[in-house]
Amino acid sequence: MQYQFLTLELQEEIAHLQLNRAGKRNALNDGLVLELRHAFENLPGHVRAAVLGGRGAHFCAGLDLSELAHRDPPQAVQHSRMWHAALDAIQFGPVPVIAALHGAVIGGGLELAAACHVRVADATAFYALPEGTRGIFVGGGGSVRIPKLIGVSRMADMMLTGRVYRADEGERVGFSQYLVAEGKAWSHALLLANQVARNAPLTNFAVMQALPRIAEQPADHGLMTEALMSAITQSAPEAKLRVQAFLDGAGAKVRTPQAGADIAPAA
């Protein structure tokens, strides 16, 4: 499907998605948010992983304030919930999503990045939550997702003081799991996506769907959920084949990563 504000290309098992409002620094309007939801809810069944980035010099500069309309409280709640549904379609969608971050990752753009499962940032990335200085509050799920990455106190500091994190600082506090050279975020994210796509689908499903929910459960509930998911994944035919291959010496081994290596060999 052709989108107005988003590009989607399928290359074998990997979906390539890019925000396509470079003239607006990929600021999120309602049309783009709805297209993101549609794209992730309708990925073809053969897709095993997705990479999400932004065209131009920035990943996403946040909410398009030029389209910020006056809404009464009930309307504003519904608008925020529309964003929630779109970003839930990413976090709890059918495939793992690797975000390729560069330039501005601000406000709603940071909320979008936080909905992805793995984040790769290049040296140009920077992070901010300017909502506090603009008299508004996050509305795209950021108050739930971002503290899980960096903690409540760091998020509060960003919103109260306007603090901006550089790429290296962001990797250190948890905004990204990988930090690469300028211009390398997309290619590195693709490498990771291809590696993730080789995992057993049921294992990827458990990591995406069960793991974040286990983290929210009381310990005894989480342990029961873990036991159930462990039993389900182990019983899958593909898991049995992979374990047997390992026992037979044909499976990949975990090795110490080499200095400067992009990705450690898959287990």
131 is catalytic: yes
Cα-based angle 20, 131, 171 (whole degrees, multiple of 5): 70
Report which secondary-structure segment, H or E, holds 135: none
12 is catalytic: no
Cα-based angle 5, 8, 14 (whole degrees, multiple of 5): 150
- Burial of 47 per CB tally in 10 Å (0-12, 13-18, 19+): middle
Catalytic residue of the set 9, 13, 41, 131: 131
Q: In what order do the strands lie in the sheet with 14-19?
A: 6-11, 14-19, 49-54, 97-101, 118-122, 178-180
Tokens of 238: 């593909």
Tokens of 66: 């030029």
Tally DSSP H helices, then E strands, for the chain. 11, 9
Rounded distance, CA 8 to CA 199, Å?
A: 23
CA distances from 213 to 63, 76, 95, 218, 265 (A): 28, 27, 17, 10, 28
Rounded distance, CA 116 to CA 96, Å?
A: 8
Catalytic residue of the set 111, 169, 226, 238: 111
Q: Give the residue numbers annotated as catalytic, written as ranges.
A: 111, 131
